[in-house]
Structure 1
């Protein structure tokens, strides 16, 4: 049996994560406490940020976290304590595997244009590994309108998780996407309007799909030109304890 749990854009938790940064969180995160909504599959955090010109996150540490960033508008400047730097623009996927520890800063690289991005966190399979930073431009592959593996096994950038792949697509109006078969899917509409399993989804909406076996094909229909992020996940986070 397939279940599709639709989460509307306005149900997310809104936080001012830093001066000039507004974040909309899909899961319990920081000051947005939602104990019954901690993850879906292997996805631990999913936030949509709007960052004012020149604003962003100053130096802050991460450890044993897989962080995937997708820019929708503007330019993200990434710099870390290992001397790695990048400018991430629309069509480019960034992966930061924090491993045994990394300190980095993320800022809007522009003094006059806003920055709009989606960032997603997952727990890696192995702790304490060497940090990894990668960026790859997948914009050419997106022109076909189909799903493009952006992060994970067989994708543009790697991921320290065997059971998760991020697919990105920019389907034009009238285009149908066949979604991957997996026990857990997370479908986020970044732009436009689509339909999934009879549910109309608009920008900022998400669908959490559970138990999508290979015998049942789920598809997504774009009502307008759209941009979607689809996590394909083949396992769930282990229970953290409790009764």
Structure 2
């Protein structure tokens, strides 16, 4: 479904992503793990069209994404839940969800809204509330719900557990499992390697802009080197 081939991404003269290649197949959860500054978010932002790779290619559903503007990438079925949530703080929960549906036709929107409220009952309770007054966990749910309103074929999540209390992290990962079970393909970037690898079919480990190892979620969870570096083992 998604193929990233030998991409190089720079911030000015800083070489942030150094020739990485990986793929995501339909129906999978694939995770990118690594320390802060390893290039995980840069990779997602490049796929989403917010940054541009200097070389290499990104292909989605067989179509190249290089030079495609980010709003057109959303229309093709690729949605990003950005790091730090980035909900529209002055708008209500319902209005945020409606903004997520801007690529959809009116007939689908009510049905999709109902689906999002079923997935996130808390958002239904708070649907008239201004997003800026929600807790961090509720804002994360809203950011995920907003992305789902675009009917993504591939949902990309950037650090969904960041800054959340442990009980909320559990809730978010339960939701990720449910979305996966309902057929959503997910590319997950996460510093909480334990949580990410426990839901992932496959994982890639990034260090300073390079992929240093990959395997199934189970293999990486059980790897002594990964345990030592990322799991406090």
Structure with greater proportional strand content: 1
Q: TM-score, normalised by structure 2?
A: 0.34
Q: TM-score, normalised by structure 1?
A: 0.33
Greater length-normalized contact order (CA 8 Å, ≥ 6 residues apart): 2
Structure with greater proportional helix content: 2
